[in-house]
Structure 1
């Protein structure tokens, strides 16, 4: 029963994390397009607040995931190759999260150099990773 509670919390935090990962790069697009100082300041505040909430959600996702993994044990991990691929994607996602944090700081310091088109492209990264993770979790192809 504990495992099901952990899974529910893991998925809940994951949904919140992805909500932030989907929206923060969109804020970068709007921020890069902003021409007035008030607008740029407003986007900086929104980005900073969202990045903090997103980081809390990421920590919850990872913590509950590790807890579940320790309950399953190393034997389970050894025979589920799909999970290794999922973990690799999670590592990529953590890297993308870090990239987002760097962008928040760059925008706050007026040092961001990406174009709106670049940030639109980066906005698709978490969607692709989520799709791949969902396929691995539900289909378990290997």
Structure 2
């Protein structure tokens, strides 16, 4: 590491594969507000992309490819995630404007969260809510 810059603390980083990874990256940045940190490409094939979620954590994604020897083969469109956000209504408006398929409009839950659910163009499910989990 240089310039006293440290990597983030250990976290869970879900990952997914996409049929059109470059398009999905653009969508996730525009619709949901992920931040593209790094993308390694081989032509149109995304070998690895890190998208950070501004409040913390993020996801890793890459292009689906026929690689029978790779034990990390993931089926595009089968991913689902719950993502914490403080401003559900603004995020919902952003996602809807960018063309996300809204599956559930913003609403309250019986455990005190405000949530909405959307599907991205690859078919992945995204639930955004204010619930941060219980204390350990």
Please give the TM-score of this superposition, normalised by the length of structure 2: 0.23
Greater Cα radius of gyration, structure 1 or 2:
1
Richer in strand (by share): 2
Relative contact order (C-alpha < 8 Å, sep 6+): which is higher?
1
